[in-house]
A = this chain, B = another copy of it.
Amino acid sequence: VTRAAEELSYVASPEASRLAGGASTRVAVVVPHLSRWFFGALIEGLESVLREADVDVLLYHVGDADDRHHFFARLPARRKVDALVLLGLPVDDDERQRLELMGVQITAVGGQVASYPYVCIDDYVAGRQAVDHLLFLGHRRIGMIAGNDPDQPGWPVAVGRTEAYHAALREAGIPARDELVATVDWGGDLGAQAMDRLLSQREPPTAVYAHSDELAVGAMRTIRRAGLDVPGDISVIGIDDHPVSELLDLTTVRQPVRDQGVVAAQNLLCRLRGEHADDAVTLPTQLVVRRSTSPPRPRPDVAGRPT
């Protein structure tokens, strides 16, 4: 019965006419994390453009699988929004069907989702910029701390950044070693734990590529607590250019986060007005060299041994 009622409510509320009718336009922003810088900066960009256009921004935080079910089952249909922006949030087939029944504009930001228009970075390129920098510096034993949200398996952001690592090593003729990869949920404290794992080997990596700056910051803490030097003993590189990275001298690959929100909102407004907008926008990333990376220092105990 509940399911039937839910489905009915979807069919009963297409909202494409709001814009034309002069009623206030409303955009739902759906986000998995609010207290992380990345998502706050994305929302800041989105909101600045939408507010300027006098559009209402409705915020939906869907933190875990339960939240997501609740959201997809109930909220959008009742609230009569004109468009929906998914921030770093993948959807499964069932959820996609529900979204499409709403008949509203859907946009993805900070990661591609299904076949919806998107604005994001090229995660493979960003990852290559990071790993290629470590290879250029002369590192051959390169570890990876990979981000993985258990509620979002197969998230293309993580997939692209992981592929970049394997491709860069392969091209450099370096065999893959499973023990040099630690996969954890996103978040600084988990980066610290991942680094614990990488250090619990007889020959730890001389450089670590982390999928995000927060993971990299956690890794740096573990390295320093072990009495080792960054970058003297182990180089660390992240992706993001989080505000804290400049303060910690973390070498990273900068992505324009606020701008992704701005462009997504601009394109969404175009589509709502019936104008053309690019469906696939990829903003460029760039290496920012600071002091957490350097060429590897030969270690007396392993010098000359093949890696």
Chain A residues in contact with chain B, CB under 8 A? 24, 29, 33-37, 39-41, 43-44, 47-48, 51, 54, 56-61, 63, 70, 74-75, 78-79, 187-189, 192, 217-218, 220-221, 243-244, 246-249, 258
- Would A246 and B61 count as touching, CB distance under 8 A? no
Contact among B59, B70, B244 with A244 in the assembled complex (CB-CB below 8 Å): B244
CB nearest neighbor in B for A36: B40
A58-B56, A79-B56, A246-B189 are known contacts. Are A40 and B47 too (CB-CB below 8 A)?
A: no
Contact among B61, B74, B221 with A248 in the assembled complex (CB-CB below 8 Å): B221
- Would B59 and A57 count as touching, CB distance under 8 A? yes
Tell me the complex Cα distance, A30–B43, Å.
13
- Would A244 and B258 count as touching, CB distance under 8 A? no
CB nearest neighbor in B for A74: B54
Q: Which residues of B contact A192 (CB under 8 A)?
A: 247
- Would B51 and A40 count as touching, CB distance under 8 A? no
A40-B39, A217-B244, A247-B188 are known contacts. Are A59 and B34 too (CB-CB below 8 A)?
A: no
* Interface contacts beyond A24-B78, A43-B61, A58-B58: sample of 5 additional A-B pairs, CB < 8 Å, sorted by A: A34-B41, A35-B258, A48-B61, A57-B59, A188-B243
- Would A34 and B43 count as touching, CB distance under 8 A? yes
CB distance from A27 to the nearest CB of B (A): 10
Tell me the complex Cα distance, A114–B60, Å.
29
Contact among B24, B33, B44, B187 with A79 in the assembled complex (CB-CB below 8 Å): B24
Q: Which residues of B contact A189 (CB under 8 A)?
A: 243, 246-247
- Would A44 and B57 count as touching, CB distance under 8 A? no
- 3 shortest A-B CB distances, which residue pairs? A35-B40, A35-B41, A34-B44
- Would A57 and B56 count as touching, CB distance under 8 A? no
CB nearest neighbor in B for A79: B56
CB distance from A249 to the nearest CB of B (A): 8
Tell me the complex Cα distance, A58–B55, Å.
10
Tell me the complex Cα distance, A11–B237, Å.
56
Tell me the complex Cα distance, A78–B24, Å.
9
**A40, A41, A79 — most chain B CB neighbours (10 Å):** A40
Q: Which residues of B contact A39 (CB under 8 A)?
A: 40
Q: Which residues of B contact A48 (CB under 8 A)?
A: 61, 63
Q: Which residues of B contact A248 (CB under 8 A)?
A: 217, 221, 248
Q: Which residues of B contact A36 (CB under 8 A)?
A: 37, 40
Q: Which residues of B contact A47 (CB under 8 A)?
A: 34, 59-61
